[in-house]
Structure 1
């Protein structure tokens, strides 16, 4: 299959006047519940390690500490209130309500916490224009208690933190490889603070913006897009040994369906009249589809979409071999 580099990419860059903002857009649209920081602080219990009754770092502490660090590192800017999404509610009751029918429980007799929590916060004054879209500098994190062994003694706890951008057109997150720390393991809030500060300090914003801007210079024809989608579907069922020889893909089959649907119908990132689509638009189709991912793997899939798109850009630019593009 012939690889094509677009010489008319400006035709697929969205002019700001033509942007259609999506109503009620969320950074994640899986089965989640929007909550406030005050709710996490005042209405949720804190899980413990059962063998020694040592407390975990709570969702509230994680979100608040991250916000404080961001404000300290960007003192000249305001930081938005965290947009917090939770899932997998764990319900309980106080001892005096043991044996009481659930329908008769009073509010003060109920306890709850959320197994999974994700949040983002913007620095709305730090806005960049990439390919006709306004992107706001955004920081966020994930905590998933299902990735901890709460039936043991206290051990290092896992957190994920990112810094990147949010596309203001569609609330899609744009996270680069060096903007995500997905294996943070800490024993204390102080160690967590150090890990967050390290990530924010090493993030190369200009490189990230440059890579995203470059995406608009390369495109697929309709036949190339169809070939690529076919290869994505094949990848899902390949032998693990064969998969290891290809660029790794984490998007699932239903999300591929969403990409194809939005290739035709997305108000901002659909294909052109001749069926061609540049890599910036394709990237946003991937990040839009990724919103259906659960909290505990959403950020990793977002980074995978970024890496995959850049892998395609590299192959288009250099006419190099790529399993997803060649027969």
Structure 2
């Protein structure tokens, strides 16, 4: 399937092709963000770029007070790389979700009752942050559903030892598609760099650039398009769900050679519920379901994960669906699939 270039709303102002000094960053306007429902749910909340830049402190390494790379610098860097790669089109303002607020107070407010604290005496930052930005002119369709090229990243300070001296910092960066019917992200292994370790913004920029340049849009689309060609019966689906639940309970030694499933029990239960109830991806009247719909049930369930887990489980959903497709194609049974 060929990509379709659809240029939307030419009044949108593109981000700059290079990283601007912090004081020159244009405020992000919520009306320029394309979204219907959040790309991740769980315990997250939406915030603006300005909030991260102006209202949050930047954590430092405790033993030498060296600054970490701030969340807003991470977003700015990836967006500028995206705009430089797709320089002939526009990208939208990022949608940002955060969780695990860390609160504090300035030294002069030590000992002051909480109810008497003034706003300027309070400090905060968000331990975990995820963002996505669309490239709306790069659009394709699968099963009549619009998918837009989407780039983003995840950062969690919980993966960083802030009690030591300055050390390598960890980020996750991805490129894939967003299903605009449900805002589910579609990410495969070629589009995910889940352990990008850097010590500077330049290294972060280079890592993001490498990922975007090496990503094969067409191959990813063709893989997803193939999901439409295969169906599971109700009995096969029930067997699959039972084995998915069983996988996390069996002895580690018995998992050798089995697909490494990362969706957990609560997400699997959501898949079952949506198999019956989801307006866009539920089963047919006879209980059968094609793998495209099943894949979207998986990616939808991944949205209920914490920020630091959802990208890996989203990507794992693509690989798992591809595993099922290969078994159905070759008519070969395995732990999860019977023919």
TM-score of the pair, normalised by structure 1: 0.92
Which of 49, 59, 62 aligns to 1:47? It is: 59
Q: What corresponds to 1:123 in structure 2? A: 135
Task: Describe the SS at the equivalent of 1:302.
Answer: helix
Which of 187, 204, 214 aligns to 2:199? It is: 187
Distance in 2 separating the partners of 1:208 and 1:126: 14
Distance in 1 separating the partners of 2:204 and 2:77: 9
User: Does the 8 A contact of 2:36 with 2:183 survive in 1?
Assistant: no
- Which structure 2 segments of 5+ residues have no match? 1-34
Q: What corresponds to 1:156 in structure 2? A: 168
Q: What corresponds to 1:109 in structure 2? A: 121
Q: What corresponds to 2:107 in structure 1? A: 95
Matched, 1:237 2:252: no
**Closer, same or farther: CA 24–129 of 1 in aligned 2, 3 Å:** closer
Output one character per residue of 1:11-63: Cα deviation in whole Å (capped at 9) or x when no partner.
Answer: xxxxxxxxxxxx94110011011100000000000001111110000001000
Q: How many residues align structurally? A: 305
Q: What corresponds to 1:5 in structure 2? A: none
Tell me which stretches of 4 or more aligned residues in structure 1 moved more than 3 Å: none
Output one character per residue of 1:246-296: Cα deviation in whole Å (capped at 9) or x when no partner.
Answer: 100111111111100110110000001111000000000000111100000
Which of 157, 180, 186 aligns to 1:174? It is: 186
Q: What corresponds to 1:57 in structure 2? A: 69
TM-score of the pair, normalised by structure 2: 0.89
- Which structure 1 segments of 5+ residues have no match? 1-22
Q: What corresponds to 1:228 in structure 2? A: 240
Output one character per residue of 1:62-97: Cα deviation in whole Å (capped at 9) or x when no partner.
Answer: 001111111111111111110000000000011111
Distance in 1 separating the partners of 2:36 and 2:175: 23
Distance in 1 separating the partners of 2:257 and 2:190: 23
Distance in 2 separating the partners of 1:35 and 1:272: 38
Which of 258, 262, 268 aligns to 2:274? It is: 262
Deviation at 1:243, TM superposition (A): 1.8
User: Does the 8 A contact of 2:236 with 2:338 survive in 1?
Assistant: no
Deviation at 1:133, TM superposition (A): 1.0
Which of 128, 133, 146 aligns to 1:134? It is: 146
Which of 296, 313, 316 aligns to 1:304? It is: 316
Q: What corresponds to 1:216 in structure 2? A: 228
Distance in 2 separating the partners of 1:205 and 1:63: 22
